[in-house]
Chain A
């Protein structure tokens, strides 16, 4: 199969960092804070590399949108086994307001330009938890989508995707080309080995601007304020079920 896979990777604040809201409440503190690849994007890269190792796809291209620093994230994808990278340069105010709609427009344009047969993304990013980019990209391209994938198989020229949904597991068969978003249990991302990290240095990362792809990255959303979640209040202990029902009624919960 001569398929080309596009994998989107996002640079986010490391999952282990304690998030702090900026004093002016316009966002969270990102300066000097450790960033790394979104964990769901790692799973997406791993799946793409696995498909390449099974010889079901020919080339894995890692894409990221953002300023200079996202090249680190693309390099991590290359160290895991992606063949080349594309860095879509977005910086400053545009980067602060970059959201799923703009990214999906960029990915759709790139998919056409690179003639990709499959796009694999993480199901959501751990900073905004939007869970929209995969779905929007599929809609813009008019491609089928297999989201929350916990298993992906290529059968003939169709994609069999097992999805994790509220009711359990759903298996669907979709035509290629398609968009898949990776869920937690799809795979366990590999460690990059030292030799692979060194080989990754030689792999190419192309630079592209959104304007070159004909995409307008201005946002239609404005963040008004960002607050910390409310402090957890102490609970109340009750003696009997009667008391419990009474208290719940008082609080207007039932």
Chain B
């Protein structure tokens, strides 16, 4: 069998990878860390290596084979995500008493990095879902935690994070969606833009204005799908992230019980920013996974593709390029993991580090994936090859969840 595997390994076809003991004979693309220097398990504890292994296995078996189809047909893979939730991926850093896994930010980063090799878009959505579950777990009272968290951790219900509006992106504190108190309800009016999962998810964590202008007038409320006055815009057509729907979320005299407010009035912006600190690490981790997979794909292609009488792997120029990509990958990984540790420990530099990590890593990893596509030549542009999907999917990581170091410094003064 060992000899047979050595022979078959010469054959490589683009996107699909088959996993596990079922198909020991055939092995196309394996997105695990095999090359020693870019091995993502270096420096981890035994337990973290186990988490990573489960995530890599799940990505290779349950996600990677479908990644292209989910992208092309714009499928929101509910069943696959629920399977992931069964393993504990629905509320990774949520408290165990409400169904979460109670792991650290570093454990979370490792897990998302590995899952992302299977499908960036789906993993990114799972990370947003996790962020919302954590916000309710951390800032909600016991009734709210018990009402929402168990279903979110099992992914019986899905969540969306609603901050951005057509008129307020980077300037999030200027949001206009209003929430006027009437008896024991807030009446919401306004709209949110670019909401991941919008329309298909069940629980919406919404930042809205209950008070004065600026960040101190913002509160955070949980709105459930089916509430009267809650509607959605058309599904956006995007360059990537196609396994999650993106829609505007519209509030027209939408009545939300006051008991759905997380924390006190005026704490909403701070809650939102704290959620985003972790969100930035998660998004950066997703970029890492894509870059890691792309480096391996590029290397594999270089070993197979022949030009000028020899394989590309003999080209000194391309060897240097690959080495640069590997270096950037390792550097990015170290920064994200440091940021995760800082956030876990509540260090004073945590917020800045999270922003720096997100800014640096999303940019570097996009460059890596882009370079990997270039190495594939014309084939890299074909949708039969996975590398273009990594490029398209992580391009948006440089845009969302905030990439301006200044705005994070500013927000750190508020929270």
Contacts and interface: CB of A to CB of B under 8 A. Distances in A.
7 contacts: A15-B5, A34-B32, A192-B53, A192-B87, A193-B86, A194-B101, A229-B6
A17 interface: yes
A90 interface: no
Contacts of A127: 2
Interface string B68-103: 000000000000000000111100100010000101
A163 interface: no
B51 interface: yes
A12 B292 CA distance: 24
Contacts of A14: 32, 34
A34 B7 contact: no
Interface in A187-218: 188-189, 191-195, 197-198, 200-201
A191 B54 contact: yes
A170 to B, nearest CB: 22
Q: Which 9 A-B pairs have the closest CB atoms?
A: A194-B88, A16-B30, A39-B21, A32-B36, A194-B101, A197-B50, A229-B3, A193-B87, A193-B88
A213 to B, nearest CB: 26
Contacts of A184: 21-22, 24
Contacts of B49: 72
B20 interface: yes
Interface of A: 14-19, 32-34, 36, 39-40, 42-43, 71-72, 75-76, 79, 126-127, 129, 184, 188-189, 191-195, 197-198, 200-201, 228-229, 232
Contacts of B21: 39-40, 42-43, 184, 188-189
B9 interface: yes
B324 interface: no
A175 B34 CA distance: 44
Contact of B34 (A34, A189, A191): A34
A15 B2 CA distance: 9
Contacts of B101: 194-195, 198
Contacts, number: 88
Interface in B25-58: 27, 30, 32-34, 36, 39, 46-47, 49-51, 53-54, 57-58
Interface in B88-120: 88-89, 92, 96, 101, 103
B127 to A, nearest CB: 15
Greatest chain B CB density within 10 A among A18, A127, A228 is at: A18
Contacts of B33: 34
Contact of A194 (B2, B20, B87): B87
Interface of B: 1-3, 5-7, 9, 20-22, 24, 27, 30, 32-34, 36, 39, 46-47, 49-51, 53-54, 57-58, 86-89, 92, 96, 101, 103
A194 B51 contact: yes
A109 B89 CA distance: 41
A181 to B, nearest CB: 14
Contact of A75 (B7, B39, B46, B58): B46
Contacts of B2: 19, 126-127, 129
Nearest to B10: A232
Nearest to B31: A16
Contacts of B3: 229
A132 to B, nearest CB: 15
B112 to A, nearest CB: 13
B47 A201 contact: yes
B50 A15 contact: no
A198 B1 CA distance: 35
A160 to B, nearest CB: 23
Nearest to B32: A16
A127 B103 CA distance: 35
A76 B57 CA distance: 13
Contact of B39 (A34, A201, A229): A34
Nearest to B36: A32
A189 B5 CA distance: 21
Contacts of B36: 32-33
Given A15-B5, A16-B30, A192 B54 contact: yes
A16 B51 CA distance: 19
Contacts of B46: 71-72, 75
A229 B24 contact: no
B1 A126 contact: yes
Contacts of A189: 20-21
Nearest to A192: B54
A36 B24 CA distance: 14
Given A16-B32, A229-B7, A194 B1 contact: no
